[in-house]
Structure 1
């Protein structure tokens, strides 16, 4: 218990001294390094609905192989896949417990000098807000993670998950300037090399790269994730993601597969400021609305009066009014008009 309290205090200190989630994660990794021996790391903030990365703090040697790791996440049934850790409830996995069965270890990690890996899902209140991955190199005096390392990370997981929830659901008031009808478009080959792009796409890609402190030629993690999933699942022809960037706004990314006349795969990426409809589900989750409260909000946005909402949802008028009171409190508004503006109308593109 003492150790959990220590890490809670440490997390609170890191939060206090962090302007954004990147600074928080970097400070927590530095604190963790004083307790666990590791050589490389990657800590990503995730979209709670898709588990796609919306930005990662990554050590440079992992940056070089990150795209390969991401591709294997969706194309192989490997051990300790991030999605499996969350869906199975296992939440944490040490590669050395089953490295002989790992394609990722044999084909990517071992050839690049890595001997072990721990993956942890940063879950809070049943939602995954990020993944922490630590790596060891073969030349390390202790090339494998110890049981006590895994136990320490387990104590840390819900603490970091709660902090990342605050960053992910922080309501950003700023908006990225948008011109009606203008679309940011990028065409990638299946190796994520840019074949063509327009000016707006270049501007938004620059924002994403700055957000992750990437070089101009590097591909942001949200794009790596969404494209890897798209290429792995050929039947899912349209995949989307919203990336919240503090003090900047929300970027919406949508990807689709293309086939050239020679049947070669390419990826068409639309990258724009998030629209009101794209923001709606994101904000409903951010404000922690229940499924029933969500239904009431959808009715209110349509302009449906209380009596008809009660009829449509098969509940009493008084129950609708009670739901509205709670919704107003959660969203910090006082009436229907303010509610509609705060979660819908203000994100309509000019």
Structure 2
């Protein structure tokens, strides 16, 4: 049974955060008092794919190279409690020792990385709402500490939805960033071993706009953000049949614009998986509409109606375009107004489509 006071204590810290990175820092500091841990990883995820995106907070876990190995294991190896499974699990949090019957070496992540780093147990959770993952967290206890208990796991599970709701609010349009003019796509190539081998100048320019975070050195003369590397790893995972999802993330730049990063694995000799091609470019209108809809919790139909409102169509024309009644349009529009916190069509367009 979870103590409501502990839940409220963590959420009071979360509510004072001004952005996602501050959210992670405040929540981690408060949670550490209630669920003691020695190290942690907090990261936002793309709500469509579950892949890691900015920001990411890594506490007491060393270099970016180690971070790269952690996500490589997560995506490419057979592991216990992968985030992709927790996203759809009845309970979105679990402890490694509790899940393995106190045999954590059943997980490749523990055998390859955690055990050698002195980690004794890992408590991880997906921060999800409406079936979509907005972030993930891993808490670590070093050797000599007790395993995470059921009450501690339950507390983190109860925080999943409320923290996800806070994260998605930070993805809403701020009015401070506007998509720039046409820009050529950036291209990065990775070899069969996951090493970056080629890059064009457009990619360098896009990468320079990404926020700070864990990165991995490359032979190209620059360090690659873990979010970009993770997207390339996901393309490999799909090519190897380990996942049927999409190797794609959306990420906000330091000047408030949105970029889309997507990767695919090329075919090598004999049809074997070959190099990975990764494209990073300004987000298309459909990408922006999608992230806005998810950030406000709009349904597909509600987004369609909001977009038609933005085009200036009256209720009767919206009804005709969607083959529904004007009364149904008004009901959907009322729901959209409530979710966006507005009271008129003009306010709705300004609120949802400022970018």
TM-score interval w.r.t. the shorter chain?
0.7 to 0.9
> TM-score by structure 1 length?
0.81
Q: 1:103 to 1:297 in 2, by over 3 A?
A: same
Q: How many Å separate the matches in 1 of 2:158 and 2:330?
A: 41
Partners of 1:161 and 1:340 in 2: how far apart? Answer: 25
Return 5+ residue gaps in structure 2 as ranges.
Answer: none
Counterparts in 2 of 1:112 and 1:265: CA distance versus 1, 3 Å? farther
| Shift in CA distance, 303/334, structure 1 to aligned 2, threshold 3 Å | closer
- Please list, as runs of the form range in 1=range in 2, the aligned pairs for 1:18-167 lying within 5 A after superposition: 18-55=17-54, 56-59=56-59, 60-61=61-62, 63-97=64-98, 98=100, 99-138=104-143, 141-142=144-145, 144-167=147-170
Q: Which residue of 2 aligns with 1:288?
A: 297
Aligned to 1:197: 199
Instruction: Give 1:293 shift.
Output: 1.7
Q: After TM superposition, give the deviation of residue 246 of structure 1 in Å.
A: 6.9
Q: RMSD in angstroms over aligned alpha carbons?
A: 3.4
| Corresponding residue to 1:240 among 248, 252, 256 | 248
Cα gap change, 1:197 to 1:179, in 2 (>3 Å): farther
Aligned partner of residue 161 in structure 1, secondary structure: helix
CA distance in 1, matches of 2:165, 2:245: 33
Q: What CA distance in whole angstroms lies between the structure 1 residues aligned with 2:145 and 2:330?
A: 61
In structure 2, the CA distance between the partners of 1:201 and 1:342, relative to structure 1 (3 Å rule), is farther
255, 276, 287: which is aligned to 2:263?
Answer: 255
The answer (yes or no) to whether the contact 1:78–1:104 under 8 Å persists in 2 is yes
Alignment of 1:262-277 (within 5 A): 265-277=274-286
Structure 1 unaligned blocks of 5 or more: none
CA offsets 1:202-248 (integer angstroms, 9 cap, x no match): 2332332x332657754323223322221011287973221135752
Which stretch of structure 1 is more off in the superposition, 232-241 or 23-32? 232-241
Q: Give TM-score, length-normalised by structure 2.
A: 0.80
Instruction: Give the secondary-structure state (helix, strand or coil) at the position aligned to 2:264.
Output: strand
After TM superposition, the structure 1 = structure 2 runs for residues 314-333 of structure 1, keeping only pairs within 5 Å, are 314-328=323-337, 330-331=339-340, 332=342
Residue 41 of structure 1: how far off its partner (Å): 1.0
Instruction: Choose between structure 1 and 2: higher helix proportion.
Output: 1
DSSP 3-state at the match of 1:64 = helix
Aligned residue pairs total 340
Post-superposition offset of 1:270: 1.6
| 8 Å CA contact retained: 2:94, 2:124 | yes
